[in-house]
């Protein structure tokens, strides 16, 4: 059982107690061309006990488009979660060329959907059994076509228009160590 110090006194940690929280905010925009998964953001945490679990939460402003700057959206942008170099939060039934992703975004393929942003989110409880520094990161890409685009914190179309409809969002990645 791990102990924490409070006012120079140690006490046992209660199972389920939040030990530490680490978070990052992505406040810039990103354009990802094609189907090669690309890093979006990451956060590092060093668990205090090997019996701890890590709760990973992500809120991502994401959209996809048929071509760069298109007024028409696209489908099939996926988000993958990694602990260091190992992909986690995998669907156990994905096979063949199916994409095992943490969560995904589907934009509509209609005129003017290129102005939209979607808020997609995921949470995952990881059991790394480690007290070493861990890096949790997300990657995203379009899983349908190498010609389609994925955008973070911005729409596809009108990105440089100085108009109120041109939304620029923020995305977050948060990890919490929880006592086991």
The CATH number of whichever domain residue 148 belongs to comes to: 2.60.120.1340
Residue 6 inside a domain? The answer is: no
Number of domains in the chain: 1
Chain centroid to Cα 159, Å, comes to 22
Residue 4 inside a domain? The answer is: no
Residue 5 inside a domain? The answer is: no
The tens digit of pLDDT for each residue in 6-40 reads 555 567 789 999 999 999 999 999 999 999 999 99
The tens digit of pLDDT for each residue in 154-167 reads 888 766 777 777 78
Query: CA–CA separation, 48 vs 40, rounded Å?
Result: 27
Helix ranges (H only) for 59-140 are none
Residue 71 inside a domain? The answer is: yes
Residue 162 inside a domain? The answer is: no
Is the distance from CB of 86 to CB of 126 less than 8 angstroms? no
Residue 136 inside a domain? The answer is: yes
Tell me 14's DSSP state: P
What is the span of the domain harbouring residue 98? 13-157+167-178
Q: Which two tokens stand for residue 2?
A: 């791990």
If one counts every other C-beta atom within 10 angstroms of the C-beta of residue 86, the result is 9
Residue 153 inside a domain? The answer is: yes
């Amino acid at each position: 059982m791990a102990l924490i110090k409070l006012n120079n006194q140690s006490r046992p940690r209660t199972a389920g107690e939040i030990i530490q929280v680490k978070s990052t905010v992505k406040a810039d925009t990103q354009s990802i061309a094609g189907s090669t998964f690309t890093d979006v953001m990451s956060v590092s945490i060093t668990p205090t006990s090997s019996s701890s679990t890590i709760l990973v939460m992500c809120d991502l402003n994401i959209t996809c488009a048929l071509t760069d700057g298109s007024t028409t959206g696209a489908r099939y942008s996926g988000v993958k979660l990694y602990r260091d170099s190992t992909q986690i939060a995998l669907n156990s039934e994905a096979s063949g060329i199916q994409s095992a992703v943490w969560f995904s975004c589907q934009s509509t393929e209609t005129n003017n959907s290129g102005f939209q942003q979607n808020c997609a989110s995921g949470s995952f409880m990881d059991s790394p059994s480690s007290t070493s520094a861990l890096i949790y990161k997300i990657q995203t890409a379009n899983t349908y076509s190498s010609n389609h685009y994925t955008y973070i914190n911005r729409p596809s179309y009108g990105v440089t228009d100085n108009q109120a409809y041109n939304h620029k969002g923020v995305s977050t990645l948060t990890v919490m160590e929880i006592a086991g």
